[in-house]
Amino acid sequence: MGAVLFCSNLDDPEEWRPPMTKLMPDLELRVFPNFGNADEIDVAMVWRPPAEGLGQFKNLKAILSLGAGVDQLDLSKLPAGVPVARLVDDVLTTAMAEYCLLAALRYHRRVDLYERNSRLKKWEYHIPRPAAQRTVGILGLGVLGGATAEKLKMNGFKVVGWSRSPKQIAGVESFSGADGIYTMAAKAEIVINLLPLTPDTRGILNKKLFDAMQPGSYLVNVGRGGHLTEEDLIPALDSGKLAGATLDVFQKEPLAQEHPFWGRPDILVTPHCASTGGADTAAPQVVENIRRARAGKPLMNQVDRAKGY
């Protein structure tokens, strides 16, 4: 029986140990850097790998991301041939859909404007529009984008979306392909990014996309900081092309004190808190993947290392 390595600067191994041990009483969970004999490690649970990589663990059968995303693992640097899985967790999914609904409603009901006006003691009434007259576009219609689309639909919004493969989702006008993103963006007044960060999607929130959006639209980035071409955002806001942005993820986190995104009334910064998984709810799939890895079976929620997500 091998041992499981736990390596994260964000997650608490002692939150994971009890629910995992309940399901796998003989589990040996070793927390980086106190992992003992590297040859005994057969599975790694990782948010970010250690600086020296995972190459020293010669008997690895699986790498389990502690997040829904895997870009922070840098797939190109992981030992070749070792399967990688990510988390798909109901708690995380619900929290993400909730955050995106909140961001959409805040713009839809002009709360962003009233927040500014209340600081200025300015009484300015805007007639509320029905949600059915507001279109929200979602980049990425996977687990999180799909759940967000459902939540927005339930709250009356019109929803359009874009993904790599064409989708048939009831009540969601879906687009794919290189031009599909711009066709979708032109229809939406609020664009929410829920793509994974891959070489194909890096920098995709850029001037070309903002130009395709309707004047006075809003951007919500909950994917990754690397999706946003940062230098394109402030000109788009200053020119009125975009009316506001909600940013939860950044190229460098925490966001540096001197970063120009801080303090602007048209940018809401949140500290990568849109959603997070729960050890209790995610432990069953992690334990199941440890069993599968040891039995040489395909993992649940296995990442396609060639596609990068």
Among all chains, which residue has been given the structure tokens 């200025």? Answer: 120
**Residue 55 vs 298, nearer CB to ligand NDP:** 298
* 165 sits near ligand NDP (criterion: CB under 6 A): yes
- In one-letter notation, the amino acid at residue 67 is G
DSSP 79-99: PTT--EE----HHHHHHHHHH
Of residues 92, 47, 45, 56, the one with CA closest to residue 74? 47
Of the residues 30, 106, 108, 224, which is catalytic? 224
CA distance 301 to 117: 46
| Minimum distance of ligand OXD from residue 60's CB (angstroms) | 21
Enumerate the β-bridge partners of residue 162.
139, 175
Over the window 234 to 253, marking each residue x when it contacts ligand NDP by CB under 6 A and - when it does not, the resulting string is --------------xx----
Over the window 181 to 220, marking each residue x when it contacts ligand NDP by CB under 6 A and - when it does not, the resulting string is -------------xxxxx-xx-------------------
Residue 272 is among the residues annotated as catalytic for this protein: yes
CA distance 64 to 255: 27
First to last CA, the chain: 30
Among 2, 79, 142, 203, binds ligand NDP (CB under 6 A): 142
Q: Give the count of residues interacting with ligand NDP (CB under 6 A).
A: 30
Closest residue to ligand OXD, based on beta-carbon distance: 67
**Which of the residues 257 through 276 are near ligand NDP (CB under 6 A)?**
272, 274-275
Q: Give the residues lining the site for ligand OXD (CB under 6 A).
A: 67-69, 276
Enumerate the β-bridge partners of residue 31.
6
DSSP 208-231: HHHHHSPTTEEEEE-S-GGGB-HH
Are 45 and 286 in contact, with CB atoms under 8 Å apart?
yes
CA distance 216 to 108: 12
**Residue 20 vs 184, nearer CB to ligand NDP:** 184
| Minimum distance of ligand OXD from residue 65's CB (angstroms) | 7
> In terms of residues, how long is the chain?
309
Residue 224 is among the residues annotated as catalytic for this protein: yes
* 69 sits near ligand NDP (criterion: CB under 6 A): yes
Of the residues 17, 109, 116, 272, which is catalytic? 272
**Residue 61 vs 86, nearer CB to ligand NDP:** 86
Enumerate the β-bridge partners of residue 190.
136, 218
- In one-letter notation, the amino acid at residue 262 is W
| Minimum distance of ligand NDP from residue 304's CB (angstroms) | 9
What are the catalytic residues?
224, 272
Q: Which residues bind ligand NDP (CB under 6 A)?
A: 68-69, 92, 96, 140-145, 162-165, 194-198, 200-201, 222-224, 248-249, 272, 274-275, 309
